[in-house]
Structure 1
Amino acid sequence: MQPTTRLKKPAGSRNEILTVGAGDRVYESTKLGAVFDMLINHGVPADVVLRDVNIPHQEVHSPQTRISLTQLMTICQNALRLSTDRHLAYRIGASVHVSTYGMFGYAILCCPDFRKAMDFAMRYHALAAPLATIEFSEDKADARWTIEPNLHAVAESALYRFVTEMQIGIHISLMRDIMGPTFTPSEIGLAYPQASDFGLPQDQIGCPVRFEQPANQIVFRSQWLDRSADLGNKTTYPTIVALCDDLLGDLKLRIGIAGKIRAVLLRDIANPPSFEAIAKLLDVNDRSLRRQLRQQGFSFRGLRDELRTQIALKYLRHTTLANEDIALALGFSDAANFRRAFHRWTNKAPSDIRGE
């Protein structure tokens, strides 16, 4: 059975869990690209860096590329094998900045205060190809990020340490991006013993590193969170959060049984197979398939309409196709039926979208 990662959804649906298969290609390639670039800069040939990753080097930085956790773990394993840089994992993490995270990063910058930024980063972490689960907590004196690598890394000691130290590098880099370059943790706690092959560069972190602690943690003074968020914007923030909610919705469409049905429907959205035909194709009985869809919060009709809506919006916004042609592409008998369906989906007319 394929390993899975369980990701909590953001506020408003905190108890819902997204179950992402390790092989599901649903994430942007930001972190994979950071590992790739660092090894290329060390003189490693691209085909060697990407061995068994199954991505052409031309597509590593493409905004259309989607990767799986398996691919991300594979390139991390390649990095462990190919580099002798003791601080490689941290350096890779430190090369990741808010600007590389797209809408997720922009939302962090727009948070009106730093506590909201910490909360946002935790709740929307699913958008950032999560190598680890992260939790933020605070008491009167100290705040801390707790980091636990995903199950895919636990079985291999070196990979566990690599992922932990890479994630610490990412966190410190992002904190310095939003709080200023002088941000310095009070201490780093690591759950494993000190090793000789690689480790954290204490001079770059600027704080003590303690080993064999109860958890992997970045600890810093709560006073850092009281500072003014100079780049925060109370007006822009809710708009960006709404866009991130849309991105999470798209992520949900790509995973689990809904993702498999979505892939089948996209093969020919104009002549989509029936629910029964898809169940047979996926080798699942009808009742079980409906139950699995319901557990993800979908119905078959709702999933099909969601895809049709997305495709219709792309046609309307980015092409000059007539409504009749869009209707045909989506499987409607005529433009009038398409217009009625589109109004039902969006509460707008197609002409409203063209005029936006």
Structure 2
Amino acid sequence: MTLAPGPEDPHGASADPHGTSADPHGTSRSTSATIQPNILRYLVIVAGERGIDLRPELRQVGLDETVMRSAALRVSYRQGSAVIRRALELTGDERLGLKVGAAQHLTAWGLLGFALLADDTLRHAIETGVKYQNLSGAMTVWSTDLGEDGAFVLHADLPDPAIDPSVASFLIEEGFASVVTLSRLAVGSGFAPRAVEFSAPAPRQRELYGALFGCPVRFGAPADRIVIDPVWAGARMPGRDPVTYASTLEMLDAQLASRHDQQDLLEVLEVSVAQSLPVIPSFGEQARRHATSERTLRRRLADCGTTYEALAEGVRRERVEQLLLRPELTLRDIARRAGFSDERALRRAVRRWHGTSPVQLRERMLRGGAGHVE
């Protein structure tokens, strides 16, 4: 279930849950490593069952096996999207999102999953998940409201409307499949929504949707949403415990506050690097700017699941992609503006990031749009 970041953060500011909002300094926040990799972990399992080894794809975006086993790991929206896009290509399975969502369990969410199990009703558990969705590892943005007849409605949105359509479909389908799967694990196998609605056009293999959701499924709808009857919404959670629930929320609130501080640190550093290009400030200089020691700053970045080198690399990668969208710039111009020593260094970096040459990447981007580059 991917109940991801909500519309408001705990400090009252408008949340940018996945680090993809634009800023005036040339970096779009999609490089910030702030998402728990729950989707990727289940994606690796499901792909492996089909004989597809995603470990090379993970390594290409900087996620090796040791890192993936770390509970402290956070990934960026860009990393997650790149692995998902490649998994879709390798498996050739357009409905891979449904299968990844159906394979999940609340234990993957750690403390948040425990809180949902101790909640009172299914509706309140979903609302709790939405409130703390920043901690769930989702790559979609969720909200709830009530229908005219009292039905409980769960909405899913994407943080970036320009995302690759195949990745967008994967994320919405993964989210809906996990919501229904985990609801059944919580309140009984008989659970089914009243309706599931997708904004995407009708796909092939429509029978898979009816079999999974057990209710009418509509495509080409105005929005992506799940509609739940009041009776099911009010179903009691079998593990409800008010004391455990309350104490768990206290710990979740502390995690949210810590996450907010981490996002602030990453964004400040990314903006600093973006403003300084083509020169990348040294780590020591960044520590001095933040009036802290190099050891403390390195520890704070480790708590965020990243390093200064990886952060700077992400900003420079994003700058290169922005510059490639300007046909009037030569590769020499781009290399100079992005801080590379020469065109050869630029080519090596683009090959490492995208598995292709700068010229081929530019052609692909100009043909398909910037949002199709992962």
TM range (shorter): 0.5 to 0.7
Using the alignment, how far apart are the partners of 2:209 and 2:66 within structure 1? 32
Helix, strand or coil at the partner of 1:207: coil
Query: Does the aligned pair in 1 maintain the 2:84–2:167 contact within 8 Å?
Result: yes
Match of 1:149 in 2: 158
Deviation string for 1:283-336 (max 9, x for gaps)?
xxxxxxxxxxxxxxxxxxxx99xx7xx9xxxxxxxxxxxxxxxxxxxxxxxxxx
2:259 counterpart of 1:251: yes
Match of 2:338 in 1: none
Structure 1 unaligned segments of length 5 or more: list them. Answer: 282-302, 311-356
Helix, strand or coil at the partner of 1:8: coil
Using the alignment, how far apart are the partners of 1:86 and 1:94 within structure 2? 15
Structure 1 residues 17 and 149: alpha-carbon distance in aligned structure 2, compared to 1, 3 A threshold: closer
Match of 2:319 in 1: none
Query: Does the aligned pair in 1 maintain the 2:30–2:77 contact within 8 Å?
Result: yes
2:5 counterpart of 1:23: no
Query: Does the aligned pair in 2 maintain the 1:184–1:206 contact within 8 Å?
Result: yes
Tell me which amino acid in the other structure corresponds to 2:214. Answer: G
- Give the one of 54, 60, 63 matched to 2:68: 60
Deviation at 1:96, TM superposition (A): 1.5
2:120 counterpart of 1:112: yes
Structure 1 residues 277 and 198: alpha-carbon distance in aligned structure 2, compared to 1, 3 A threshold: farther
Deviation string for 1:137-162 (max 9, x for gaps)?
223342221111220x6442222212
2:226 counterpart of 1:218: yes
Structure 1 residues 83 and 118: alpha-carbon distance in aligned structure 2, compared to 1, 3 A threshold: same
Structure 1 residues 40 and 250: alpha-carbon distance in aligned structure 2, compared to 1, 3 A threshold: same
Match of 2:188 in 1: 180
- Percent identity reads 18
Match of 1:99 in 2: 107
Tell me which amino acid in the other structure corresponds to 2:262. Answer: R
Structure 1 residues 81 and 275: alpha-carbon distance in aligned structure 2, compared to 1, 3 A threshold: closer
Deviation at 1:182, TM superposition (A): 1.5
Query: Does the aligned pair in 2 maintain the 1:185–1:207 contact within 8 Å?
Result: yes
Tell me which amino acid in the other structure corresponds to 2:211. Answer: D
Query: Does the aligned pair in 1 maintain the 2:88–2:94 contact within 8 Å?
Result: no
> Which stretch shifts more, 96-105 or 55-64?
55-64
Using the alignment, how far apart are the partners of 1:182 and 1:192 within structure 2? 27
Tell me which amino acid in the other structure corresponds to 2:255. Answer: L
Give the alignment's Cα RMSD to 1 decimal: 3.4
Helix, strand or coil at the partner of 2:156: strand
Using the alignment, how far apart are the partners of 2:59 and 2:97 within structure 1? 18
Query: Does the aligned pair in 1 maintain the 2:54–2:87 contact within 8 Å?
Result: no
Structure 1 residues 237 and 91: alpha-carbon distance in aligned structure 2, compared to 1, 3 A threshold: same
Match of 1:134 in 2: 142
Structure 1 residues 209 and 56: alpha-carbon distance in aligned structure 2, compared to 1, 3 A threshold: same
Deviation at 1:93, TM superposition (A): 0.9
Return the structure number with greater relative CO, CA threshold 8 A, min gap 6: 2
Report the TM-score, using the length of structure 1 for normalisation: 0.67
Query: Does the aligned pair in 1 maintain the 2:130–2:142 contact within 8 Å?
Result: yes
Tell me which amino acid in the other structure corresponds to 1:144. Answer: V
Deviation at 1:276, TM superposition (A): 6.5
- Give the one of 77, 81, 84 matched to 1:76: 84
Tell me which amino acid in the other structure corresponds to 1:189. Answer: E
Tell me which amino acid in the other structure corresponds to 2:7. Answer: K
Using the alignment, how far apart are the partners of 1:128 and 1:202 within structure 2? 27
Using the alignment, how far apart are the partners of 1:276 and 1:65 within structure 2? 26
**Bigger-Rg structure (1/2):** 1
Structure 2 unaligned segments of length 5 or more: list them. Answer: 20-28, 271-282, 304-374
Structure 1 residues 200 and 214: alpha-carbon distance in aligned structure 2, compared to 1, 3 A threshold: farther
